[in-house]
Amino acid sequence: MDFAYAALVEFAAHSTAEREYQEESPMRIWPPDEAHASRPAHTRPDRQKPVRLLLINPRSPDSFWSFRWATDHILVHERAPNPPLGLATLAGLCPDHWTVEIVDECIEELPSEPVADIIGICGMGVQHPRQRELLTYYRQKGYYTVAGGSFASLCPERLEGLADTVVAGEAEYIWQQFCDDYEDGCATPLYIERGSVVLSDVPVPRFDLLQLDRYGTASLQFSRGCPYRCDFCDIIVMFGRKPRTKTPEQIGRELDALRAHGANSAFFVDDNLIGNKKLAKELLRYLIDYQKRHDYPFEFGTEASLNLAQDREMMELFRNAGFGWVFLGIETPDVESLKAAGKTQNTTMDLLEAVRTIYSYGIDVYAGFIVGFDNDTAEAFDRQYRFIVDAGIQVAMVGLLTAMPRTQLYERLEREGRLRLDIMPGDNTRAQTNVVPASMSYETMIASYKALYRRLFSDEGIAQRIRNKMRYLRRPNAIAPRKPLLTQLRLLWRTLAHGIAPGGPRRWWRFLSTLRCPPRLWPIVITDWVRGLSMRDYAERYLGETTP
């Protein structure tokens, strides 16, 4: 049976398999029963023999997020945007006498025969095929294998039989339980977290195990969970709707560790940093103080809900804490689609004004968009194009509506018989989706989606967005250039030689048109060209030709 067919069969059988797997597998559930709760963790004197754990982050398929053209031609030392923070956190949870190594296939080769007792392989939806391959490979070689990550958390049954142990859910408590059981020789095939982790229990991630200089930015996490109820969102399925946070002091310790390892930019990976506004403001005040005390060592970025634009105090705090950019889930300018998807928080404001207000605080905006809502006809693509261009958003991640397992959307479409079971959900930036659209044919949707990208990443599409952004982002918050002058000149030269020149006189002309702004904005203009050309390169390779 080939892999695609196996995946299809497995996918179709999802609901039943999930139930049977969880009913039949010997497993540990957290919180544990009383007998297990009384077991002291990692305290017995016989726990002296070192256990060697290798943690692997499988390579991700190429996507808009990989910015491959930029890492191949411009930022040649950086191999991936972000390090595998989850694995560094997991490493921090291991007993002291374990030795842990992290290998990230996004930046380096995997060892074929590593010196390890356990191999743990994580994965998001996009990494699932590779995660399966690696689990199979290392298990056949006789290693004890453990599968985890967000996809294993959403549907652990899809990894049944591929790993000796599957860890589903937040790992902080169940991982320690697994470590104990492994050393006692009684690890079970499945560990499930059914409660929720108190984030003050999370240790400082083992940043020392990551090659931080190989990534675009370091990462850390303040909160999990989001109070909203967007029906397509799997974050609220995994982390719940009550945001939980670390303490500001914990974040301070993580920043200390990042500074010690040379990081000068940090991405808060929270899906919505302002999910609990009061606690977010406390964090931001702490960060302002931290930056002052240490002479502004970091530029930050994060994800937040769009109501950030309605809270001037919050935006002021973002600016003063050194946030250079924020990723917003805008999704669509169509109010009816937003309402139908349960994203009502975006319907209470003028979206364009909201983006421009955030720019006015010096914060750059990246954003996610979705096409293929039930309300969307072929005209929706044009409205999306106009909005993205008017808002000047260069990092515009437009994806087809995708139904992830266990989301409200997935369950509704399953009831309506509108799920395509021949397509695995996961990477919503490819020209395919498991959702059968309601108001246009599937073929029209795919063709319109490709055409939207062709327009967005034409030279004029890139230039127009830069010009529109620069009207509002007058005082960018990106803290003074962090790279030495020579490095900056080298980057500029590479951008001109590999990016602008190959486009001929027309691209030169458009490039020069974007430099008609104060010179202090030029670094952002050039960075946006690099981002735009990177995304164009991806669109050309996977979605067909783009317009010159």
- Whether the Cβ atoms of residue 380 and residue 372 lie closer than 8 Å to each other: no
Q: How many helices (H) and strands (E) does the chain have?
A: 21, 15
Q: What x-and-dash track marks residues 251-290 binding ligand SF4 by CB under 6 A?
A: --------------------xx------------------
Contact pick of 17, 91, 159, 233 for ligand SF4 (by CB under 6 A): 233
**C-beta of 240 vs 248, nearer to ligand SF4:** 240
Count of residues in contact with ligand SF4, rule CB under 6 A:
10
* Site for ligand SF4, residues 286 to 315, rule: CB under 6 A: 305
Question: Among residues 150, 153, 175, which one has the least CA distance to residue 94?
Answer: 175
Question: What tokens were used for 509?
Answer: 């002309």
**C-beta of 93 vs 341, nearer to ligand SF4:** 341
CA distances from 328 to 44, 119, 382, 415 (A): 48, 36, 20, 30
Instruction: Report in angstroms how near the CB of residue 236 gets to ligand SF4 at its nearest.
Output: 5
Instruction: Report in angstroms how near the CB of residue 283 gets to ligand SF4 at its nearest.
Output: 17
Instruction: Report in angstroms how near the CB of residue 120 gets to ligand SF4 at its nearest.
Output: 26
Contact pick of 226, 284, 535, 543 for ligand SF4 (by CB under 6 A): 226
Instruction: Report in angstroms how near the CB of residue 428 gets to ligand SF4 at its nearest.
Output: 12
3-state secondary structure 110-164: CCCCCCCCEEEECCCHHHHHHHHHHHHHHHHCCCEEEECCHHHHHCHHHHCCCCC
Task: Give the Cα separation of 221 and 326 in Å (integer).
Answer: 15
Torsion of CA 61, 66, 71, 77, to 10 degrees: -90
The answer to whether residue 230 forms part of the interface with ligand SF4 (CB under 6 A) is yes
The residue type found at 416 is E
**C-beta of 345 vs 448, nearer to ligand SF4:** 345
The answer to whether residue 329 forms part of the interface with ligand SF4 (CB under 6 A) is yes
* Three-state DSSP state, 41: coil
b/e burial code for range 489-528 (CB count within 10 A of at least 16 → b): eebeebbeebbbeebeeebeebbeebeebeeebebbbbbb
Contact pick of 110, 152, 236, 398 for ligand SF4 (by CB under 6 A): 236
Question: What tokens were used for 502?
Answer: 């190959």
The answer to whether residue 84 forms part of the interface with ligand SF4 (CB under 6 A) is no
Instruction: Report in angstroms how near the CB of residue 231 gets to ligand SF4 at its nearest.
Output: 9
- Whether the Cβ atoms of residue 277 and residue 311 lie closer than 8 Å to each other: yes
**C-beta of 93 vs 404, nearer to ligand SF4:** 404
**Which of the stretches 95-103, 206-214, 233-241, 489-497 binds ligand SF4 when contact is defined by CB under 6 A?**
233-241
Residues that bind ligand SF4 (CB under 6 A): 226, 228, 230, 233, 235-236, 271-272, 305, 329
